[in-house]
Amino acid sequence: MNSKIILAYCTFPSEAVAEPICEQLVAESTVACANIFPPMKSIYRWNNQLMKESECAVIFKTSALKQEALKERIRAIHPYALPALVFLPVEGGNPEFLNWVYGQSL
């Protein structure tokens, strides 16, 4: 089951923006779970300017079958023009939990 589960890391401008998007993705079974982390400081270059912004990070847990769907949903509903979204394979873990993630995101 391990190779069938992925994590996705995504940033949002605030918890207030992230929470309804996460709720929507869970409700439509695109993801099994979303963990919203508290605000952090992001420092990056955008349009040749050094930016310092407060953001929050989200870790999504889903099945590999939903990777493309999650990518398309984030593109459609995320407020950023270029959302940060990366996928990480799950190589191990609690088998019962991994089965739950898989079942919730079918």
Q: What does the pLDDT look like over 38-60, one tens digit per residue? A: 999 999 999 999 999 999 999 99
Q: What is the pLDDT of residue 3?
A: 66
Q: What is the pTM of this model?
A: 0.94
Rounded CA gap, 57 and 55, in Å? 7
- The proportion of the chain whose per-residue pLDDT surpasses 90, expressed as a percent, equals 95
Tokens of 40: 């952090």
Rounded CA gap, 13 and 38, in Å? 11
Q: What does the pLDDT look like over 65-76, one tens digit per residue? A: 999 999 999 999
Domains and CATH numbers, the chain: 2-104 (3.30.70.120)
Q: What is the mean pLDDT of residues 85-101?
A: 95
